[in-house]
Amino acid sequence: MNIDFWKMHGAGNDFILIDDREGGFPADDPQLIAEMARRRTGIGSEGLILIQRSGEADLRMRFFNPDGGEVEMCGNGARCFARLAFDLGAAPRAMEFETVAGRLGAEVLEDGSVRLRMTEPSGWVLDGRLEVEGEELRYDFVNTGVPHVVLTVEDLDDVDLEGTGAAVRYHPQFAPAGTNVNFMQGCDGNTLCVRTYERGVEGESGACGTGIVACGLTAARHGLTSLPVTVRAGSGDLLEVDRREENECGPRVTLTGPAVYVYRGRWRPSPRQNKHF
Ligand SMILES: N[C@@H](CCC[C@H](N)C(=O)O)C(=O)O
């Protein structure tokens, strides 16, 4: 058996997407997922996404980090999920789907970009203090579907992203789940620039949607910017974070940005994965 997939990216954050509406993908095999996601010897990606049927919404999204572990949500991945689901005829242009973090809404816009309606942010810590390598760091924290620390910096090009990122990601304060770590700088006008050390990628990813939302909301709460805010990801792509009056449920945080096809392919598992096929 082969696995048909789409390779897509959202602002440079790249994913493997699989139409698993009929079931059958061995999601309980982290080794297989890690092998598919591995650069050089696999397809290479910063996450694997399953499109599944749902009894309660249009669809269900499952998201796996490239280390094979399932986590609650992925902002850039959710936009790719919505665009592919719409193009496959699996969901209407304005859809709702389940995630482990809760129910999301998405609208595929005419140009193929996607506006995502997020779950309500939770677990806020504003102006927290953290000791990292003998130094006190000021940080903010919010869960926008997955956990995010936001570190406000003066010069994004001058941060030790891998060093400080890993130290905060594994800091006992955020154990056992760990956290993603965003470095945020105010840029020109009402624009933020963000680079993210991602849990599960264990390094800098091309962009992180939930991290960009965490930064946009944090900057607004500190009065550094106002919503809607434009955020430039590490990849250079621009996304918009807003809080909009969407429906009778009241205002919802939104993330709008690209969802781009790279190619379509078929994965033939290596012999050591043949147990499934
Ligand atoms: N890239 C994602 C976040 C994916 C999950 C993250 N790696 C985690 O473990 O929390 C995004 O765009 O939000």
CATH number at 269 reads 3.10.310.10
Q: How far is the CA of 198 from the centre of ligand 1 (A)?
A: 6
Mean pLDDT across the chain: 95
pLDDT of residue 159: 96
Instruction: State which of 17, 199, 254 you would mutate to test the pocket of ligand 1, scoring each by most atoms of that ligand within 8 A of its C-beta.
Output: 199
Say yes or no: 192 and 235 in one domain: yes
Peptide bond into 176 cis (omega under 30): yes
Per-residue pLDDT reduced to its tens digit, 122-180: 999 999 999 998 999 999 999 999 999 999 999 999 999 999 999 999 999 999 999 99
Say yes or no: 158 and 135 in one domain: yes
List the domain range (segments joined by +) for residue 272. 3-113+259-276
Residue 39 lies in a domain: yes
Average pLDDT over residues 8-35: 96
Say yes or no: 235 and 128 in one domain: yes
Q: Which atom of ligand 1 is nearest to the CA of 196?
A: 1
Give the number of domains in the chain.
Answer: 2
Residue 254 lies in a domain: no
pLDDT of residue 213: 98
Q: How far is the CA of 232 from the centre of ligand 1 (A)?
A: 17
| Tokens representing residue 117 in the block | 């309606």
Say yes or no: 104 and 18 in one domain: yes
Say yes or no: 202 and 232 in one domain: yes
Average pLDDT over residues 206-213: 98
Q: Which of 80, 187, 193, 208 is catalytic?
A: 208
Say yes or no: 267 and 200 in one domain: no
- Interior CA angle at 166 toward 164 and 169, to 5°? 105
Characterize the bridge pairing of strands 180-186 and 191-198: antiparallel
- Residue 118 pLDDT > 60, yes or no? yes
Say yes or no: 126 and 201 in one domain: yes
Q: How far is the CA of 146 from the centre of ligand 1 (A)?
A: 7
pLDDT of residue 189: 86
Does the annotation count 74 as an active-site position? yes
User: Is 145 marked as binding a ligand?
Assistant: no
- Residue 249 pLDDT > 80, yes or no? no
Average pLDDT over residues 199-226: 97
Q: Which amino acid makes up residue 220? A: A
Say yes or no: 264 and 229 in one domain: no
Does the annotation count 208 as an active-site position? yes
| Tokens representing residue 216 in the block | 């946009």
pLDDT of residue 272: 61
Q: Which atom of ligand 1 is nearest to the CA of 179?
A: 10
Q: How far is the CA of 89 from the centre of ligand 1 (A)?
A: 26
Residue 146 lies in a domain: yes
Residue 253 lies in a domain: no
Average pLDDT over residues 8-16: 98
Distance CA 217, CA 219 (A): 6
Q: Is 74 in the pocket of ligand 1 (CB under 6 A)?
A: yes
pLDDT of residue 244: 78
Q: Across the strands, what pairs with 241?
A: 229, 255
- Residue 277 pLDDT > 60, yes or no? no
Average pLDDT over residues 94-116: 97
Q: 144 near 182, Cβ under 8 Å?
A: no
Per-residue pLDDT reduced to its tens digit, 50-73: 999 999 999 999 999 999 999 999
Residue located nearest, by CA, to atom 10 of ligand 1: 146
Say yes or no: 135 and 109 in one domain: no
Residue 107 lies in a domain: yes
Percentage of the chain lying above the pLDDT 70 cut: 95
Average pLDDT over residues 229-256: 88
